[in-house]
Chain A
Amino acid sequence: MRKLMMTTALALSLAPILAHAQSSDFTIVFADDSTSDVTFDPRVTQSRHEEQVIAQIFDQLVVGDADGKQYPGLAKSWKMAPDNTSVTLVLRDDVTFHDGTKFNAEAVKFTFDTIVDPATGSQGAIDMIGPYAGADILGPYEIRINYKRAFPTAVDSFTENELSIVSPTAVKTLGGTGFAQAPVGTGPFKFVSWEKGKQVVLERNPDYKWGASFYSTQGPSKVARIIHRYIPNAGTRVAALEAGEVQLTDLTPPLDMKRLADSGKFTTMTGIAAGVPLSLMFNTSKGALQDIKVRQAFITAVDRPRLSQNLFFGFAKAAWGPLAPSTPAYWKGVEEYYKFNRDTAGKLLDEAGWKMGSGGIREKDGQPLQIYYPTLLEPETSVALQADLKRVGIDLKVENVTKAKQDELILTNGYDVGGIRWVYNDPAVLRIPFDSNNIPEPGKFKFNWMRWKNADLDKTLASAATASSPEDRLKLYADAQKMIMDAAVFMPIHDQIETIALTNKITGARFAPGNWQLRLYDVRPAS
Chain B
Amino acid sequence: MHYAIRRILGIIPVLFFTWTIVFGVIQLIPGDPVNLMLAGVPASAEVRENERRRLGLDRPIIERYVTFLGRALRGDLGESYRSRQPVSKMISEQASSTLQLAAGGLAVGLTVGLLLGMLAGLMPNTWVDTLCMLVALAGVSLPSFWIGMMLIYVFGMTLAWVPIVGSGFSALILPSITVGLFVAGGFARLVRSSIIDAMGQDYIRTARAKGLSRFSIAFKHALRNALIPPVTLLGIQIAVLIGGAVVTENVFARPGLGTMLVEAVLNKDLPLVQALVVYTTAAYVIINLVVDLLYGLIDPRVQAGRS
Q: Bound state CA distance, A123 and B54, in angstroms?
A: 13
Chain A neighbourhood of B32, CB < 8 A? 407, 443, 445
**Can you list 15 A-B contacts (CB < 8 A)?**
A14-B170, A121-B50, A121-B51, A121-B84, A197-B259, A233-B145, A242-B157, A243-B157, A243-B163, A245-B163, A404-B30, A407-B30, A407-B31, A422-B41, A429-B42
| Known A196-B90, A445-B32; contact A121-B85, beta-carbon cutoff 8 A | no
Does B231 interact with chain A (Cβ within 8 Å)? no
Contact yes or no, B164 A236, CB < 8 A: yes
| Known A46-B39, A46-B41, A127-B42; contact A35-B51, beta-carbon cutoff 8 A | no
Contact with B along A394-412 (1 / 0, CB 8 A): 0000000011110110000
B94 touches which one: A16, A196, A403 (CB < 8 A)?
A: A196
Contact yes or no, B253 A229, CB < 8 A: yes
Interface centre among A233, A402, A407, A447 (most CB of B within 10 A): A233
Kindly provide the distance from the CB of A109 to the nearest chain B CB, expressed in whole angstroms: 21
Contact yes or no, B44 A127, CB < 8 A: yes
Q: Which chain A residues in 37-57 approach chain B with CB under 8 Å?
A: 38-39, 46-47
Q: Bound state CA distance, A196 and B272, in angstroms?
A: 14
Chain B neighbourhood of A197, CB < 8 A? 94, 97, 255-256, 259-260
Does A17 interact with chain B (Cβ within 8 Å)? yes
Chain A neighbourhood of B259, CB < 8 A? 35, 197
Contact yes or no, B162 A10, CB < 8 A: yes
Does A181 interact with chain B (Cβ within 8 Å)? yes
Does B165 interact with chain A (Cβ within 8 Å)? yes
Contact yes or no, B42 A422, CB < 8 A: yes
Contact yes or no, B170 A243, CB < 8 A: no
Kindly provide the distance from the CB of B96 to the nearest chain A CB, expressed in whole angstroms: 10
Chain A neighbourhood of B153, CB < 8 A? 239
B251 touches which one: A47, A233, A408 (CB < 8 A)?
A: A233
Kindly provide the distance from the CB of A465 to the nearest chain B CB, expressed in whole angstroms: 14
Kindly provide the distance from the CB of B275 to the nearest chain A CB, expressed in whole angstroms: 15
Kindly provide the distance from the CB of B116 to the nearest chain A CB, expressed in whole angstroms: 24
Does B70 interact with chain A (Cβ within 8 Å)? no
| Known A14-B163, A180-B84, A239-B157; contact A403-B43, beta-carbon cutoff 8 A | no
Contact yes or no, A13 B170, CB < 8 A: yes
Contact yes or no, B30 A127, CB < 8 A: no
Contact with A along B48-69 (1 / 0, CB 8 A): 1011001000000000000000
Q: Bound state CA distance, A180 and B260, in angstroms?
A: 19
Kindly provide the distance from the CB of B273 to the nearest chain A CB, expressed in whole angstroms: 13
Q: Give the total of A residues in contact with B, Cβ under 8 Å.
A: 55
Contact yes or no, B30 A118, CB < 8 A: no
Q: Bound state CA distance, A181 and B160, in angstroms?
A: 35
Does B202 interact with chain A (Cβ within 8 Å)? no
Q: Bound state CA distance, A323 and B168, in angstroms?
A: 46
Chain B neighbourhood of A404, CB < 8 A? 29-31, 36, 268
Of the four ranges (under 10, 10 to 19, 20 to 34, 35 or more), the interface on chain B belongs to 35 or more
| Known A17-B166, A35-B259, A242-B157; contact A236-B252, beta-carbon cutoff 8 A | yes
Contact yes or no, B47 A195, CB < 8 A: no
Does B76 interact with chain A (Cβ within 8 Å)? no
Contact with B along A408-430 (1 / 0, CB 8 A): 10000000000000100000010
- Besides A47-B39, A239-B156, 6 other CB < 8 A contacts? A232-B250, A240-B165, A403-B31, A407-B31, A429-B42, A445-B48
Contact yes or no, A13 B163, CB < 8 A: yes
Does B290 interact with chain A (Cβ within 8 Å)? no
Q: Considering only CB atoms, which chain A residue lies closest to B54 in the complex?
A: A121
User: Which 3 A-B residue pairings sit nearest by Cβ, starting from the closest?
Assistant: A197-B255, A404-B31, A38-B83
Does A391 interact with chain B (Cβ within 8 Å)? no
Kindly provide the distance from the CB of B13 to the nearest chain A CB, expressed in whole angstroms: 30
A177 touches which one: B40, B84, B163 (CB < 8 A)?
A: B84
Contact yes or no, A196 B93, CB < 8 A: yes
Does B149 interact with chain A (Cβ within 8 Å)? yes
Kindly provide the distance from the CB of B167 to the nearest chain A CB, expressed in whole angstroms: 7
Contact yes or no, B30 A444, CB < 8 A: no
Kindly provide the distance from the CB of A414 to the nearest chain B CB, expressed in whole angstroms: 11
Chain B neighbourhood of A239, CB < 8 A? 149, 152-153, 156-157, 164
Does A454 interact with chain B (Cβ within 8 Å)? no
Chain A neighbourhood of B45, CB < 8 A? 444
Does A122 interact with chain B (Cβ within 8 Å)? yes
Q: Considering only CB atoms, which chain A residue lies closest to B268 in the complex?
A: A404
Contact yes or no, B253 A243, CB < 8 A: no
Chain B neighbourhood of A422, CB < 8 A? 41-42
Q: Bound state CA distance, A181 and B259, in angstroms?
A: 20
Q: Considering only CB atoms, which chain B residue lies closest to A9 in the complex?
A: B170
Chain B neighbourhood of A35, CB < 8 A? 253, 255, 259, 263
Contact yes or no, A127 B43, CB < 8 A: yes
Q: Bound state CA distance, A16 and B163, in angstroms?
A: 12
Kindly provide the distance from the CB of B171 to the nearest chain A CB, expressed in whole angstroms: 8
Chain A neighbourhood of B168, CB < 8 A? 13
Contact yes or no, A38 B29, CB < 8 A: no
Does B176 interact with chain A (Cβ within 8 Å)? no
Q: Bound state CA distance, A133 and B252, in angstroms?
A: 48
Q: Bound state CA distance, A232 and B255, in angstroms?
A: 10
Contact yes or no, A245 B164, CB < 8 A: yes
Chain B neighbourhood of A230, CB < 8 A? 253, 255
Chain B neighbourhood of A243, CB < 8 A? 156-157, 160, 163-164
Does B254 interact with chain A (Cβ within 8 Å)? yes
Q: Bound state CA distance, A118 and B51, in angstroms?
A: 9
Does B267 interact with chain A (Cβ within 8 Å)? yes
B165 touches which one: A124, A231, A242, A443 (CB < 8 A)?
A: A231
Chain B neighbourhood of A242, CB < 8 A? 157
| Known A38-B83, A126-B47, A236-B164; contact A408-B31, beta-carbon cutoff 8 A | yes
Q: Bound state CA distance, A122 and B51, in angstroms?
A: 9
Q: Considering only CB atoms, which chain B residue lies closest to A34 in the complex?
A: B263
Kindly provide the distance from the CB of B36 to the nearest chain A CB, expressed in whole angstroms: 6
Q: Which chain B residues in 140-163 approach chain A with CB under 8 Å?
A: 145, 149, 152-153, 156-157, 160-163
Q: Bound state CA distance, A196 and B96, in angstroms?
A: 12
Q: Considering only CB atoms, which chain B residue lies closest to A421 in the complex?
A: B40
Contact with B along A346-367 (1 / 0, CB 8 A): 0000000000000000000000
Contact yes or no, A17 B161, CB < 8 A: no
| Known A10-B162, A13-B170, A118-B50; contact A124-B41, beta-carbon cutoff 8 A | yes
Q: Bound state CA distance, A16 and B48, in angstroms?
A: 44
Contact with B along A432-444 (1 / 0, CB 8 A): 1000000000011
| Known A13-B168, A196-B90; contact A236-B251, beta-carbon cutoff 8 A | yes
Chain B neighbourhood of A47, CB < 8 A? 39, 41
Contact with B along A6-47 (1 / 0, CB 8 A): 100110011011000000000000010001101100000011
Contact yes or no, B268 A39, CB < 8 A: no
Does B82 interact with chain A (Cβ within 8 Å)? yes
